[in-house]
Amino acid sequence: MSNDLPDPPQNRNVPAASDTVVGTVEQPGDSADEFQFIAPNDIDVRTGEFIVYNTTVEGEHHNVLARVTNTEQERGLPGDFLANPGVDSDAVADALGVPTGDVELNSVTARIIGYFNDDMGTFTNPRSLPDPGSRVYLANNAFLEAVLPNADWESDAGLAHVGWLLNRPARDANVFLPIDEFASTHLAILASTGSGKSYTASVIMEEMMRPSSRAAMLVFDPHGEYDTLEDMRKSKYEDVFSDGDYTPEVNIVQPDEITIAIPDLNYGDLLALLDGPSDKMKYILQKAWRKLQQETNDISAHDLVRTCYEEDGEQSDTAEALEWRIQRALGRDLFVRAAREDLTDLVAPGQVTVLKLNQLSKDDQQMLAAALLRKLYEAREEAMRGDDDRLDFPLFTLLEEGHRFAPDGNARSLGILRTILSEGRKFGFGVGIISQRPSKLDADVLSQCGTQVIMQIQNPNDQQAIQQSVESAGQDVLDELPGLTPGQAVISGDAMNTPVLTRIRHRHTEHGADSLNATSEWRTSWETHNEEQNRSVVNAYDEEEDDVDDTAL
């Protein structure tokens, strides 16, 4: 993409209404915060569009923001409207620029969001509906840019430019997502497969790694989709990602480089790794494990087996049964003996570490996440207490295929994720969960993700899971989800003052997760196979020729 880098707004002192009148208020809607207005049908006011009307509350004049929730076609000015003695129908028709008689109009329903209260930094509902006949304006782009994000503009807030308002012409109104907000109260990116989850996650990561944020980020990448973030270091993106001495560090950890330190496991992890241990085995194992943990930070599978024999005697059948199980579980290259002391290869400010887990089994992926997240969480707790300064900076971890790590069921990683999601805010440990199956995610985990980027979702179970766990997902948000196309999202929750329909921007770096183009792969593959076959036919013939007995000719 062209490296257009919009400047975030500096303050909210911008007019709320644009010059464009889109309609005239007709009557109250079905609920206390809804009203209807009449709009000429050549004016495009789609669902999700932001409009403004003027009102007076306790003697103070306010511009109130509302969101369009429905549009229906009408023929002629509606009867209710014309019957209202307080409204001059000619004046209304004149305001709308339409004749009073036979004309196509839209009856538009809008839900009040409120007027922006600067002291509180959010919207206040005026608790009164606009007067019939009053004018409705399109909200000003600059006003929306400033009031939609829940950001403290006066501070040095880190902002992610994630795209533009979907209902406005391309690139007219920027959407900024306040990084500080979602990095402390967690993020969920939810969408059906192919709708742009990993693309959007990469856009957010790019923004977090820009010089204005320099995040410390760890990515659990089960499909190996995020290698291309390395492009951030290319000189052609210098103006986007570099500033002075700063260029993001991108640490891509290949599957065969990933290890789990045995001393970083806990007893529960060990039990989960071993194949059906009996009660007696558990008893011996626990004793051996406790002893080793008290003594050392360097534990091999062999040490554990030896200690089991020490605990139950050299001739112990139980220790023998444990030996087989321990060797099978821990005697693999994935497990190493020395505890992980230096954590900065995993997380450091201005560094994104991508753990490519695509050759690990699901159980191993969960075990790795459990051990690493626990270790990082403990280090953050210690840093906050002032006991250890290894990680004296906030962290953000992103889990692709989040339902794998925090499923609605059992997983080694679920417990620590629940802890980080509920306590992480105190310790500066943010989590981003990406998932195409919200209904398969643990409901607590989903409900703790304060900000949501939700893209196309058609599955009713997934929609229901979102409705139940996501506070900000009202019916109008849910109604949008099936109709979104790839790259379109509703952003809602803590980081935004109201849900926002967004067209996600293009990535600066290349996308690494394009789906396979089956027909072209088949064609290429067929050609390769065909060539090989032809070659072998020729070779066979050549050999036959070689075998011909010249003397017989």
Ligand X SMILES: Nc1ncnc2c1ncn2[C@@H]1O[C@H](COP(=O)(O)OP(=O)(O)OP(=O)(O)O)[C@@H](O)[C@H]1O
Give the binding site for ligand X (CB under 6 A).
191, 193-199, 436, 486-487, 504, 506, 511, 513-514
Of 193 and 410, CB closest to ligand X: 193
Q: How far is the CB of 323 from ligand X (least distance, A)?
A: 42
CB of 400 to ligand X, least distance (A): 8
Query: In angstroms, what is the minimal distance from the CB of 164 to ligand X?
Result: 11
- Name the residue nearer to ligand X (CB basis): 45 or 209: 209
CB of 176: closest distance to ligand X in angstroms? 16
Q: Which is nearer to ligand X, 196 or 450 (CB)?
A: 196
Sequence-ordered strand ranges (E) for 3-80: 17-28, 34-40, 50-57, 60-75
Whichever of 69 and 200 has its CB closer to ligand X, that residue is: 200
Cβ of residue 499: shortest distance to ligand X, in angstroms?
Answer: 18
CA–CA gap between residue 237 and residue 478 (Å, rounded) = 37
Q: Residue 351, Cα to own-chain centre: how many angstroms? A: 19
CB of 437 to ligand X, least distance (A): 10
- Minimum CB separation of residue 210 from ligand X in Å reads 17
Query: What does the chain come to in residues?
Result: 553
d(CA 221, CA 225): 7
Work out how close the CB of 356 gets to ligand X at its nearest, in angstroms, rounded to a whole number: 15
Local structure of 488: helix, strand or coil: strand
How many C-beta atoms surround the C-beta of residue 408 within 10 A?
Answer: 18
What's the closest the beta carbon of residue 519 comes to ligand X, in angstroms? 17
CB of 125 or CB of 461, closer to ligand X: 461
Phi-psi category of residue 404: left, alpha or beta, with phi > 0 → left and psi -120 to 50 → alpha: alpha
Angle at 99 between CA 97 and CA 105, to 5 degrees: 75
Return the number of the residue (170 or 548) whose C-beta is nearest ligand X: 170
Q: Rounded to an integer, what distance in angstroms lies between the CA atom of residue 513 and that of residue 224?
A: 8
Amino acid at 386: G
Closest CB to ligand X among residues 46, 223: 223
Which residues lie closer than 8 Å to 89 by C-beta, 6 or more apart? Answer: 77, 81, 82, 100
Cβ nearer to ligand X, comparing 214 with 437: 437
| Cα distances (Å, whole numbers) of residue 339 to 105, 342, 444 | 70, 9, 31
Q: Which is nearer to ligand X, 98 or 490 (CB)?
A: 490
Give 299 or 355: the residue with its C-beta nearer to ligand X. 355
Q: CB 434 → ligand X: shortest distance, Å?
A: 7
Alpha carbon distance 424, 420 (integer Å): 4
Considering the complex, state which of residue 129 and residue 191 has its C-beta at the smaller distance from ligand X. Answer: 191
Give, in degrees to the nearest 5, the angle at Cα 505 between 159 and 71: 100
Rounded distance, CA 198 to CA 18, Å? Answer: 35
Minimum Å distance from CB 347 to ligand X? 24
Burial of 19 (0-12, 13-18, 19+ CB in 10 A): exposed
Inter-residue contact 127 to 35 (CB < 8 Å): no
Q: How far is the CB of 503 from ligand X (least distance, A)?
A: 7
Q: Which two tokens stand for residue 550?
A: 């010249």
Edge to edge, the sheet with strand 395-399 lists 174-178, 159-165, 500-504, 488-493, 451-454, 187-190, 429-435, 395-399, 216-221, 351-356, 249-253
Name which of 16 and 513 has its Cβ closer to ligand X.
Answer: 513
**Closest separation between CB of residue 504 and ligand X, Å?**
4
Measured from the CB of residue 171, what is the shortest distance to ligand X in angstroms? 13
Strands, E assignment, 283-425:
335-336, 351-356, 395-399
Alpha-carbon span 371 to 348, nearest angstrom: 18
**Residue 293 structure tokens:** 């943990």
Residue 211: CB atoms within 10 A of its CB come to 14
C-alpha to C-alpha distance for 489 and 481, rounded to whole angstroms: 8
Q: How far apart are CA 444 and CA 419, in angstroms?
A: 10
Residue nearest to ligand X (CB): 196
Whichever of 155 and 519 has its CB closer to ligand X, that residue is: 519
Q: Which of 206, 303 has the CB closer to ligand X?
A: 206
Distances (CA, A) of 4 to 1, 124, 203, 244, 507: 8, 34, 14, 20, 11
Residue 49 in contact with residue 23, Cβ under 8 Å?
no
